[in-house]
Amino acid sequence: MRGAYRIGAFAAAGAATLLIELAVVTDASGQSAPTPLLTDTPQYCAELSDEVEEDRQALVSPAPAEIEQLAEEGRQLCALGQVRGGIVRLRRAIVLLLKASGHS
């Protein structure tokens, strides 16, 4: 798990799926329950883009073409104001980068 969020499951066959972040919230009784948080702002796109770049630079070998393509598509969609589609692609690139670097 990276940061304070978990990456959700992705839809098969490249279908655009909005991913929901999960935060664990503890109520007064001490019970914890996942609470969905939706972040779909241009600032979040920029944050994810920076994270993709940091993770890509940390790789020992060049990033696979699929990751580069997802990252570029994500950045372009964010720049065009289609932040949800951009976020989906950037988050997928992060997941693949983590796998490529040996992290789960």
91 domain residue, yes or no: yes
39 domain residue, yes or no: yes
Arithmetic mean of pLDDT, 41-55:
94
**Which residue shows structure tokens 């329950």?**
33
C-alpha 55/C-alpha 78 separation (Å) is 19
Q: Compute the C-alpha angle 101/38/57, nearest 5°.
A: 20
Q: Give the count of domains, the chain.
A: 1
Q: Which long-range contacts (CB under 8 A, 24 or more apart) does 15-18 make?
A: 16/84, 16/85, 16/88, 17/88, 18/84, 18/88
34 domain residue, yes or no: yes
Comparing 56 with 1, which gets the higher pLDDT?
56
6 domain residue, yes or no: no
pLDDT for 82 equals 95
User: Quick check: 49 and 74 in contact, CB under 8 A?
Assistant: yes
Task: Report pTM.
Answer: 0.63
Arithmetic mean of pLDDT, 49-59:
93
Gyration radius of the chain's alpha carbons:
15
Give the residue numbers spanning the domain of 17. Answer: 12-100
